[in-house]
Structure 1
């Protein structure tokens, strides 16, 4: 049987200019690459500036991160993620992201939700793929970027 005769899903290509970054404040940017809400999957890419931080949070699922440029770390650990660094975060891990260099570019592949924690360790809010996608699309509209072709369910 020839490959052309096999019924299979097609690969989906998104070009580098197809999904814009949205400004989320102080030069920090976000773009959403894919959200599969039924699977709890969300893949995002960020550009952070030095001094940017993310609230302390706990992941309910695993996370994979790849740093493309710059440098960032977790407040709770000594190592620094730099260009080419790969990071695996198991479900249940807790940390506080801190960016230490301008134009730090990081790609995150996540399952589940982020439980954002207050100073006492209580859940303050929840971030997930569906909410992040809704935020991204709203910011694209607000910033005059149209509706990008994010891969969804």
Structure 2
């Protein structure tokens, strides 16, 4: 339970009034399966969307790839960071394996193919900035995922399954 006596009052800054009037507060976004369901992403993966920031073309989600699964080759057009939550995973193009607690960052222009051969699969929290271009097994362009693609992925699933759209996710 929150103890109001622990809240510290800081002195006002020059722009405090404008901040109070016009700025959006930070947000709490529940991550339970009801508030953010696991949505299929191909045959071997699912995405739990956490937030969508259209102003910055950014999104946060948890990617779950089941054992023996892979995500098609993709190229990032913006910065991406991730932290492994469960299992292990890597990219065929690199010689490291990410395990729980490991932090990964990817620079614009990076292209790679994510896989997990962990018996329990993997889950990682991703913060994605900019577009991601996906390619098929022949290296031909397939589709682009940006914040708007992620929004459609989430809202279409909710609408098709009679689930409410969690408006708190739109920051």
TM-score, normalization by structure 1: 0.85
C-alpha distance in 1 between matches for 2:156 and 2:11 = 40
Structure 1 segments (4+ residues) deviating >4 Å: 2-6, 118-122
Higher strand share: 1
Of 30, 53, 56 in structure 2, the residue corresponding to residue 15 of structure 1 is 30
Q: What whole-Å deviation, never above 9, does each CA across 1:101-151 have from its counterpart, x for those lacking one?
A: 224111110111111234565533211111111111111232343222352
C-alpha distance in 1 between matches for 2:25 and 2:72 = 38
Aligned to 1:126: 144
In structure 1, runs of 5+ residues without a counterpart are: none
| 1:19–1:150 contact (8 Å) kept in structure 2 | no
Of 125, 129, 132 in structure 2, the residue corresponding to residue 114 of structure 1 is 132
Which structure is larger by alpha-carbon Rg, 1 or 2?
A: 2
Number of corresponding residues = 152
In structure 2, runs of 5+ residues without a counterpart are: 1-8
Aligned to 1:76: 93
Using CA pairs under 8 Å that are at least 6 residues apart, name the structure with larger relative contact order, 1 or 2: 1
Q: How well do the aligned residues superpose, as a CA RMSD in angstroms?
A: 2.3
